[in-house]
Amino acid sequence: MRKIMNNPKNFVDDFLDGLLKAYPKDFRAVPGFPRALTRVEPSGAGPKVAIVTGGGSGHLPLFLGYVGQGLCSGVAVGNTFSSPSAEAILAATKASESGRGVLFLYGNYSGDGINFDDAADMASDSGIETETVRAADDVASAPPSASGSRRGVAGLTLAYKCAGAAAEASYTLSDTAKVAARSLANTRTMGVGLSPTIIPEAGHPTFQLLEGEMELGIGIHGEPGIRREEMGDANHIADLLLDGIRVELGLSASSRVAVLLNSLGATPEEELYIVYGRVADRLAAMGVTVYRTFVGRYATSLEMAGCSISVMTLDDELTSLLDAHSYSPLLRLF
């Protein structure tokens, strides 16, 4: 294992400590709850729907990188690949809300669901209204007939952007939740893994791949995907991933889309652009209009090599929300 760290058991607390020191004007920990972070709101900010997210660590910039202007207001941070506690979620909720309710927006994982649901009950007891939207954009994790059980991956970030813009534009809680749900209903993601990831606290790769083999449909925790097959070139990978998502999205010559090409951690941007070149050609050949493109690290799995492609079909409202300004020190071009 080649990792730069101190005590592996303190991996999460140590990176949080450094991150808070790096961006004191952007993030702060809720007093007494080191695993609950909120945005430092500018003085004079009016009340708005607060979006609270959270999940396991190991995915930066997901989840806490999406706390920022026009994005989420608070986040609960779990151990590596493990849900945050309900008490951390509740702390982030109480510290973020400004009277207009709280949207819980996170990935569809059983542990996160249990803890966010408990936090929602406790928030309700404190008089805070919440709504919940879970991302389930990974087509490789379940067939269309069981799409509700799919896991949430990189497509979640596009929902943050649209729902965050809606909250900023003074949408109500119910309307902000509808934007988040529609963003996700319009988004599909599929990924490919080329090398495993190592949980710092465990020190072992989560799976093994043979040289020249790739895992098609891999999850952001190294969950196995649809199948393993011989490593192909970038065009082949682009085709496999795009073909995995385009039918369900119903892409046609009248479609307008945003494309998010995401590195799972180790894969460099150069390789992402090679894949994107093919994706752009394929979409152009189908007559699809690519309105926005995001290429980079948006939802990673520590040092895993590989990438994922997310495509979101846009209507007029989602287009304008996607265009709204957003800022977090962990993101660029978002």
Binding interface with another protein (CB under 8 A): 78-87, 109-111, 114-115, 141-142, 149, 151, 199, 201-202, 204, 206-208, 219, 221-225
Q: What is the DSSP letter of 120?
A: H
Q: How far is the CB of 149 from another protein (least distance, A)?
A: 7
Complex with another protein: residue 134 or 221, whichever CB lies closer: 221
Q: Which is nearer to another protein, 82 or 267 (CB)?
A: 82
Q: Shortest Cβ distance from residue 248 to another protein (Å)?
A: 17
302's CB contacts (< 8 A; 6+ apart) are 58, 80, 197, 198, 199, 200, 265
Q: What is the amino acid identity at position 193? A: G
Report how far residue 68's alpha carbon sits from residue 167's, in angstroms, rounded to the nearest whole number.
12
Q: How many Cα neighbours within 13 Å face the side chain of 161?
A: 30
Q: Which one, 81 or 106, has the nearer CB to another protein? A: 81
Choose between 91 and 314: whose C-beta lies nearer to another protein: 91
**Catalytic site includes residue 221:** yes
CB of 190 to another protein, least distance (A): 13
**Angle, helix 156-168 to helix 316-323, in steps of 10 degrees:** 80
Nearest distance in Å: CB 88, another protein = 8
Are 116 and 53 in contact, with CB atoms under 8 Å apart?
no
Catalytic residues, by residue number, are 59, 221
